[in-house]
Amino acid sequence: MAQQQQPARTVCVTGGGGFIASWIIKLLLQRGYTVRATVRDPGDKKKNGFLASFESASQNLTLHKADLLDYDALSSAIMGCEGVFHVASPILARDEVGFLDPAIKGTLNVLRACHEAKVKRVILTSSVVTTIFDPNRPVDAIVDESYWSDIDYNRKHEQWYTLSKTLAEKAAWQFAKENELDLVTMLPALVFGPSLDSTINPSNSILYRLVTGVSLSEYNFSYGYVHVKDTAEAHILAYENPIASGRYLCVESVLYFTDLLEYLEKLFPNYTYNKRCFEEMTTSGFVPGKFSNQKVVNLGIRFTPLEQTLKETILDFKEHGFIN
Ligand SMILES: NC(=O)c1ccc[n+]([C@@H]2O[C@H](COP(=O)([O-])OP(=O)(O)OC[C@H]3O[C@@H](n4cnc5c(N)ncnc54)[C@H](OP(=O)(O)O)[C@@H]3O)[C@@H](O)[C@H]2O)c1
């Protein structure tokens, strides 16, 4: 008897043209999923055209126009999907409202659409920033998934991105609890790695600025780093593993920015680095964090070492002609 072919599993990825989302889409297509990607302008070939070049895209990928504040558009993209990866969120916005509204209302729009569509599981891309900014956190704490950034503290310091991610994730958990929605959140550190389009996204631009001698007007706090492909894979593992639940920190290594600079100089001595010492971060909420990555490792992630991540990212800059 002829074996029955399993129907392709249909999932939606929000913000499909983004750095992390496009990697998630590429890996999902490789795994045989049918993917509906939401983008703000499907007609913008310069921004989203690269998605069509992914293996199986012509049969298994469709683009759906949806702003995060447009419930109806999100709902029509999500209806009929078995799972949703909600990745889109403002990274660079002009002001508080520009960050908070699409992040929080947008997340609730996506989750409401998922609830109505009876989606089996939602993976929300949160961030490590939702865990580390708390003035009461002990300096030597090993941050795990039980930690949360302090809302008032972030508001007071006008950390709108951190606030947007923290409030969005909190709102998501509240919604999931009230509506019995299966939600899993992924909390990546600073994500580096090759871009699938031909741009330098905001997190890679930090690396770009370091290797082009631009001094970052950043404080010297330590940060966690992770490869973009590992980040995408972690999202999919969290989606596919029936026992995955709760929050997952996704961090490969932790380094002070100054140490990252030294490390880069060792790996790529031919570039000029700006050695101006970064201002030491003294505010207690921003003290260095150590992260536990045990939970995501238990999901099956084998992290790419930072050295390899940096090499691949720099090579990508070269291939795109951003640096020599
Ligand atoms: N990169 C990192 O280091 C890092 C670390 C931790 C967490 N994250 C999280 O990962 C996710 C993806 O970030 P990324 O690094 O891949 O950045 P990205 O390339 O800038 O992607 C952000 C995406 O969000 C979309 N978006 C923003 N506002 C929107 C709105 N109002 N309606 C619809 N779409 C909207 C953007 O669409 P357009 O292309 O139309 O602007 C873009 O596709 C975000 O949730 C971010 O907070 C990133």
Residues 128 and 148 sit within 8 Å (Cβ to Cβ):
no
Could you list the beta-strand ranges (E) of the chain.
10-13, 34-39, 61-65, 83-86, 121-125, 142-143, 183-188, 190-192, 219-220, 222-227, 246-250, 253-256, 279-280, 290-291
Half-sphere exposure of 150 (CA within 13 A, CB side): 12
In the prediction, which pLDDT does 122 show?
98
In the prediction, which pLDDT does 1 show?
45
Q: Give the nearest ligand 1 atom to 226 CA.
A: 3
In the prediction, which pLDDT does 286 show?
58
Q: Where are the domains of the chain?
A: 10-192+225-251+293-300
pTM for this prediction: 0.96
In the prediction, which pLDDT does 110 show?
98
- Does the Cβ of 89 fall within 6 Å of ligand 1? yes
CA of 266 to the centre of ligand 1 (A): 31
Phi first, then psi, for residue 28 (nearest 5°) are -65, -45
In the prediction, which pLDDT does 257 show?
80
In the prediction, which pLDDT does 2 show?
47
The low-confidence residues of the chain, meaning pLDDT below 70, are 1-8, 216-219, 276-289
In the prediction, which pLDDT does 176 show?
98
CA of 4 to the centre of ligand 1 (A): 39
> pLDDT digit string (tens) for 228-263?
999 999 999 999 999 999 999 999 999 888 888 889
Question: CA 24 to CA 45: how far, in whole Å?
Answer: 19
Q: Give the nearest ligand 1 atom to 92 CA.
A: 20
Catalytic residue among 26, 46, 105, 165: 165
The answer to whether residue 46 is catalytic is no
Q: Which CATH number fits domain 10-192+225-251+293-300: 1.10.10.2120, 3.40.50.300, 3.40.50.720, 2.40.10.220?
A: 3.40.50.720
Q: Give the nearest ligand 1 atom to 21 CA.
A: 16
In the prediction, which pLDDT does 201 show?
94
- Does the Cβ of 164 fall within 6 Å of ligand 1? no
In the prediction, which pLDDT does 138 show?
84
Best residue among 19, 23, 124 to mutate for probing ligand 1, ranked by most atoms within 8 Å of CB: 19
Closest listed residue to residue 258, CA positions, set 228, 291, 216: 216
In the prediction, which pLDDT does 218 show?
60
In the prediction, which pLDDT does 83 show?
98
